[in-house]
Amino acid sequence: MIPGTTTFILVTMLIKLGLIAALASIIARFGLFKRLIFVEQRTPKQKLQFAAFLGVPFMLATLTRLVAHFPGADLSLEATVLAGLLGGTITGLVVGMMVSLPAWLHWGEFLAPLMATLYAVMAGTARWICPDKEAIWKFSPFVDLSLYRSIRQRFRAPVLDWQVLFALICVILEIARMIVSSLGPHVLFGINSPHLLGRGLIVLATVIGVALPVRIWNNTRIERKLEEQERLLMQARVDALISQINPHFLFNTLNTVSSLIRFDPETARTVVLKLSNILRRRLRTQAHFLTLRQELDFIDDYLSIEVVRFGSDKLRVRKEIDPETLDSNIPSMILQPMVENAIRHGIGPKVEGGTITLRTSHPDGRLVVEISDDGVGISPERQREGFESGIGIRNVRERLNVLYGDEFKLRVHSEPGQGTSIRIELPELITPERAETGVAVSGQ
Asked if residues 161 and 204 have their Cβ atoms less than 8 Å apart, the reply is: no
121-135, 138-152, 344-358: least confident range: 138-152
DSSP letter for each residue of 226-279:
HHHHHHHHHHHHHHHHHHHHHHHHHHHHHHHHHHHTTT-HHHHHHHHHHHHHHH
What is the band of 20 on the pLDDT scale with cuts at 50, 70, 90? very high
Is residue 437 very low, low, confident or very high in pLDDT (cuts 50, 70, 90)? very low
Q: Check residue 234 and give its pLDDT.
A: 62
Does the pLDDT at position 438 exceed 60?
no
Radius of gyration of the chain (CA): 34
> Distance between CA 42 and CA 36 in Å, rounded?
8
Mapped onto helix, strand or coil, the DSSP state of residue 348 is coil
The pLDDT value given to residue 115: 92
For helices 76-87 and 89-106, angle between their N-to-C axes, nearest 10 degrees: 160
Checking 58-61 for CB contacts under 8 A at 24+ apart, the result is 58/23, 58/95, 58/98, 58/99, 59/98, 59/99, 59/102, 61/19, 61/23, 61/99
CA gap 103, 69 in Å, rounded: 12
Per-residue model confidence as pLDDT tens digits over 375-419: 888 776 665 665 444 556 777 887 788 778 888 888 888 888 888
Residue 129 and residue 140: Cα distance in Å, rounded? Answer: 19
Mean pLDDT over 48-71 rounds to 90
Contact 137, 40 (CB under 8 A): no
Q: Which pLDDT does position 5 carry in this prediction?
A: 76
189-203 pLDDT, tens digit each: 888 888 888 889 999
Q: Where are the domains of the chain?
A: 2-228, 261-437
E strands within 315-382? 315-320, 329-331, 354-361, 367-373
* pLDDT tens digits, one per residue of 302-332: 888 778 767 777 888 899 999 988 988 888 7
User: In sequence order, which residues have a C-beta less than 8 Å from that of residue 19 and are 6 or more positions away?
Assistant: 61, 72, 73, 75
Res 442 pLDDT > 50: no
pLDDT of residue 384: 61
Q: Give 132-170 pLDDT, tens digit per residue.
A: 888 888 887 664 445 555 555 555 544 456 888 888 999
Q: CA 95 to CA 89: how far, in whole Å?
A: 10
Q: For the chain, first and last CA: distance in Å?
A: 53
Mean per-residue pLDDT for 271-300?
Answer: 77
Backbone φ and ψ of 376, nearest 5° = -75, -15
Look up the pTM and report it. 0.57
* Residue whose C-alpha is closest to residue 438's, from 283, 241, 281, 221: 241
Confidence of residue 52 (pLDDT cuts 50, 70, 90): very high
Confidence of residue 431 (pLDDT cuts 50, 70, 90): very low
pLDDT digits (tens, 9 = 90+) for 72-96: 888 999 999 999 999 999 999 999 9
pLDDT digits (tens, 9 = 90+) for 228-257: 766 656 665 555 555 555 566 677 678 878
Q: What is the SS3 string spanning 287-329?
A: CCEEEHHHHHHHHHHHHHHHHHHHCCCCEEEEEECCHHHCCCE
List b or e across 228-237, with b for residues whose CB sees 16 or more CB atoms inside 10 angstroms: eeeeeebeeb
Question: Is CATH 3.30.70.270 correct for 261-437?
Answer: no
Residue 430 DSSP label: P
**Does the pLDDT at position 285 exceed 70?**
no
Q: What is the mean pLDDT of residues 60-72?
A: 87
Q: Stretch 205-232: mean pLDDT, rounded?
A: 84
Length of the chain: 444
The whole-number average pLDDT for the span 266-275 is: 82
Percent of the residues in the chain that have a pLDDT greater than 70, as a whole number: 80
